[in-house]
Structure formats: structure tokens, C-alpha cells
Chain A
Amino acid sequence: MVSKPTQFEDGFRMSVNALDVENVSVSHNGALAINKISFNVQEGDLLGIVGPNGAGKTTLFRAILGLQTYQGKIKLFGYEGSQYTTLLSMIGYVPQKVNFEPNFPATVYDVVAMGILSKKRLVKGASLIQSCGCCWNRIFSTSSKDHEKIEEALKIVGLESFKDRRISELSGGEQQRAFIAKSLVKEPLLMILDEPVTGVDMDVQNKFYSVLRKINKENKITIVWSSHDLTAISDLATRVACMNRELFFHGEKEEFFANKDMLKTYSESAMQLHMHKHDM
């Protein structure tokens, strides 16, 4: 079943969300992992998703990425079905931890090069995006060669001097930056980051957040990002979704942080935010 974006009679197309999640439920062995989650992500948004451990954030991401069967509807730029699958390869995904063989003989450059999409896929994706009236915020010029794309992506994440080092020699934060670069070289329509800096120190987290800000503001890439760090969410996100198997809130950042009850639900994170404000 393929649904196309609505076209008006005057030829203009309705603006389409980058991502639509409609009544999505996932169950594991009969138990509901997420229940009827609905939200949307507009182009250029940086949506922060918060929720306690076990809230189903990773399950939700896996459903969006086609790694998990689900009930409900998920649309990418208004598309479902085979067109969704075509666009899926243009999502940049950075999981909480990439489980690779520690002795894998890949340099940072090799890993980033894995993210390069074939020209055929890029052309197919571009025609779908054009036909739904959206603009594709390409990071690289269409004439860029693969090598130039890789070098540029490494520069964006600040790892250009690490390119010849093995990926396993990097710290956790540096590895995550390398995986962001791997996502960037595919010229993503959307990036999904699943608690990407959990367990790394504050300095590395701050470097990571500055990369996030840069690719959202300068490269205009739409980002969906889950985190327990409410301070970072309040600093970086444009919109916030709050979930614990069900969606409790989805809207503007200011509205979320003005809602004391919502913050109390996540007291630990709220305390973190309070301390941050106090420090300021």
C-alpha cells in the first residue's frame, strides 16, 4: 500500500512531515513494549525523545528503521511501502552502541566509507523527495567524489586527524562521532540517534553535542534523538517527546519544560536540569 502526498489543484503540494508515526504498537512475546505511539517530525526539527530505561525508545527506533515488526503506520516524507524502503537507506542511524568485533581491521576512514550510498540509490531517493515537494538538504555537492565526502564528514565531526587509526583504538565518544560521520556521508534525509553518548564523560558529551548542533543548524538535517540528559535536550532540541511505553507529551520544548508534573515524573533528570540552571 503506497500513499502519496496530497497534491493541490493549483499544482502546489502540501508540506509533508519528514516522519509520521501513527498508532504504532510493538509487542514482545505478548507484552506491549510500546502502545499506540503517534507523533510527527517536521523537516529541520531536532526532536528530543525522553523517557526512563525500558520506555521503548529503542524499540520505537527499530520499528522506524524496519528492524522490528509493528502494528500501525510509519511514513517517511509521506511514503509507505516500497518507497519507504527506498528512503530507509537514506536514514542515518547511530545506535547506543555499535556491536562490532573489537579486532575488526577497519580504520576510521574505512568505517565512514561504509556509509557511502550508491549513486543509483541517491538518484532514486532524490526523485522521491522532489516528487513530494520537500527539499533535500544535501551536505555535499552532487559532483563530490566519495573520497571528498568522507574527508568532509570527518571534518564535520572533528576526526580528520584520526582517519588512519583503527576504529577500536578510539574512545567511546570518538567512535560515536565516527559513526555520525558514517551517517553523514550517505547525505541523510533524517538522522536517528539512540542515546549516542550514554556512558561517556562530560567533555566528550559536550564535543558530541556541538557536532549535533552543527549538523542540525548548519546542514539543516532533521534529527530524532533520545537521551536521558534533559540539560542537553533543553539546550539543543527544538521539540520534545516524552514516553514510557505510551506517549505522554509531544510538542514545543518550552511547553515541556514548563510542565512541572512532567518533569517530576523523571525526577532524576529534572534534578539534573535544576542543578544546571542553578550553576548558571
Chain B
Amino acid sequence: MNLDILSYGFMQRALLTGIVVSITCSMIGLFLVLKRYSLFGDALSHVAFGGIALGYFFNIYPIWTAFAVSVSTALGITKLRKSTKISGDAAIAVLLSSGFAMGVLLISASHGFTIDLFSFLFGSILLTSMQDALLIVAVSCGVIVTLIAIRKPLIHFTFDEEQAKVHGIPIEKLNYLFVALAAVTVIATMRLVGILLISALIVLPNITSIMMGKGFKKTMMISISLSVSAVIAGITISYYFNLAPAGTIVMLMVAMFVGTLIAKHVGMFSTKILNENNLSATN
């Protein structure tokens, strides 16, 4: 194999957007996983599906409508959760079904754009246009910079909301900002792996890195490394073996997760995971 892969414009765009998006997903995903919002990304992507269908229906650039619908729905459901005390999983179920239902409804109401919609459902990183690539990179960089800026209060807030509030962190505003960033990330990721596989990119690298028993910073760096490696390898393998990039990327991430799980099982990592609180571990 040689590196002729990089001589194609579509591959350059695919790799660039893939790398940026995978970094964003890993960063926001760690907070989502730790807040037990793992399926929030999945739910938001279904809402985004409705937003894309809306864009096609009204002949507007679909990414814009997806942004508008996802961000406003994410903020709305957060407000609703707070005022009605709806549980997190129930809120996710409402988001997931209502967003997808809107998409299906709009598809049935019009004809002729289903092929394009399928590219959003299953991902089409190799077909990313320059316009999409620039938008995805710009948005992802914005999310990364914002996350770096708010990392300290966000870590505290994710660890313990009440303690964060006593510490003077404006947790409500922070929560709204966080869900808005999550919504934006999901839209940026749609082109890479498609609506149906977004949660894999958000969850898999993070639960894999959490198992390695490191501190917060190292866990995030490991997650980013795993995610970027899987995206580069996935796109390359899919190019040479004519496979679907989205499926290849996600299956590589699954392989990393399973490999880490086995390594942990044989004692390569020292920390305990998926157990209840280990109060009597050491004294």
C-alpha cells in the first residue's frame, strides 16, 4: 500500500473532518458518559434527522435546519426535565421518538429526497463537500475551544452538581451550554458515521479509556487517541477494501473496547470498573 490515498481531495476532506469530529466526540462524550447521558447523542441525532428532513422539505441547506432543530430541542428538553422532573431516560425516549417521527412524517409528505437522507442515516464521509467540510471543521473547533475554556467548572459539575453549585458554579447556565454543545457535536458527526451510529463514537472510546484507570486528563487523551486512530484506520481500510467507512470505524472501536475489556480481565489495568462503590477497597 502506498499513500496515494492522500492525493485525492475527497480523502483529504474525509480525513480532516474525521479527525476533528472524532476529537470533539471524545471530549463531549466523556462528560455525557459520566453524566449517564450516553444515549443523549443518539436521541439528538434522531432529532437531527427530523431537522434534515425539514430542510429538504422547505428546500433549505439541511445542516442549518438540523442545527436549529437539535439545539432548540436539546435546550427545550433540558428545561422540561428541570420543570417536570422527567427522568433522563424518559426524556431521551421522548426526544428519540419525536425527532424520528418528524423525519418520517416529512418524508412521507414529500418525495424525491430519500437517497440524500440515507446518506445522513448511514454516513457518507467520502462524499463530504468542501462546504460541509469547512462547516464541520469550524463548528468542531468552536466546540473544542469552548470545552477547553469551561473544562474546570464542567468537570466539577459532572462530578457532583450540588458541590458545584455550592462552589459558585452557575450550574443551570452551564448545563444549557453543555447540551447545546452536545447537539452541535452530533450534527457535525452525522456525515462521518451517520445518525444511527453517532452514539458509538460518543460512547465507545470513552468507556474504553475509562477502563484504563487513569485520571481525568489522561482518560480524555486516551479516548481522543483511540477515536482518532479508529477514524484514520477505518477510512483507510474502507478505501482499500471497498467497505462502508462508518461501519468500519465503529467496528474498530468495538474491537478496541473488547480488547481493553480482555486486557483488564487478565489484570493489565488495576482499577475496578462497573462495580458498586468499593468502600472497603483499602485502608
| A66, B165: Cβ atoms closer than 8 Å | yes
Contact with B along A75-112 (1 / 0, CB 8 A): 00000000001101101010100111111111101110
Report the interface size class on chain A.
35 or more
Which single residue of chain A is at the shortest CB-CB distance from B275?
A102
Instruction: Tell me the residues in window 202-249 of chain A with beta carbons closer than 8 Å to chain B beta carbons.
Output: 203-204
Contact with A along B199-215 (1 / 0, CB 8 A): 00000000001100111
Tell me the minimal C-beta distance from A123 to chain B in angstroms: 14
Knowing A67-B165, A166-B271, A204-B283 are in contact, say whether A101-B278 is a contact too (CB < 8 A).
no
Tell me the minimal C-beta distance from A84 to chain B in angstroms: 12
Alpha-carbon separation in the docked complex, A200 to B163 (Å)? 22
| A174, B210: Cβ atoms closer than 8 Å | no
| A168, B215: Cβ atoms closer than 8 Å | no
Knowing A65-B166, A110-B215, A114-B155 are in contact, say whether A104-B279 is a contact too (CB < 8 A).
no
Knowing A102-B276, A114-B159, A170-B281 are in contact, say whether A121-B168 is a contact too (CB < 8 A).
yes
| A169, B282: Cβ atoms closer than 8 Å | yes
| B159, A104: Cβ atoms closer than 8 Å | yes
| A110, B274: Cβ atoms closer than 8 Å | no
Tell me the minimal C-beta distance from A132 to chain B in angstroms: 19
A171 part of interface (Cβ distance < 8 Å) = yes
| A88, B168: Cβ atoms closer than 8 Å | yes
| A168, B34: Cβ atoms closer than 8 Å | no
Which single residue of chain A is at the shortest CB-CB distance from B165?
A67
Which single residue of chain B is at the shortest CB-CB distance from A203?
B283
A164 part of interface (Cβ distance < 8 Å) = yes
A57 part of interface (Cβ distance < 8 Å) = no
| A103, B159: Cβ atoms closer than 8 Å | no
Which single residue of chain A is at the shortest CB-CB distance from B220?
A105
> Hey, which chain A residues are within 8 Å of B163, CB to CB?
93, 95, 98, 114
| B167, A186: Cβ atoms closer than 8 Å | yes
Knowing A89-B167, A98-B160, A98-B163 are in contact, say whether A103-B277 is a contact too (CB < 8 A).
no
| B279, A172: Cβ atoms closer than 8 Å | yes
A115 part of interface (Cβ distance < 8 Å) = yes
> Hey, which chain A residues are within 8 Å of B278, CB to CB?
102, 168-169
Checking B166, B209, B271, B283 against A88 with a beta-carbon cut-off of 8 angstroms, the contacting residue is B166
Alpha-carbon separation in the docked complex, A110 to B273 (Å)? 18
Instruction: Tell me the residues in window 248-283 of chain B with beta carbons closer than 8 Å to chain A beta carbons.
Output: 271-283
Contact with A along B149-162 (1 / 0, CB 8 A): 00010011011101
Contact sample, A vs B, 21 pairs, CB 8 Å cutoff:
A67-B162, A67-B166, A88-B166, A98-B163, A102-B276, A105-B34, A105-B209, A105-B213, A106-B155, A106-B215, A109-B215, A111-B159, A114-B152, A114-B156, A117-B167, A168-B272, A168-B278, A169-B282, A170-B281, A170-B282, A171-B280
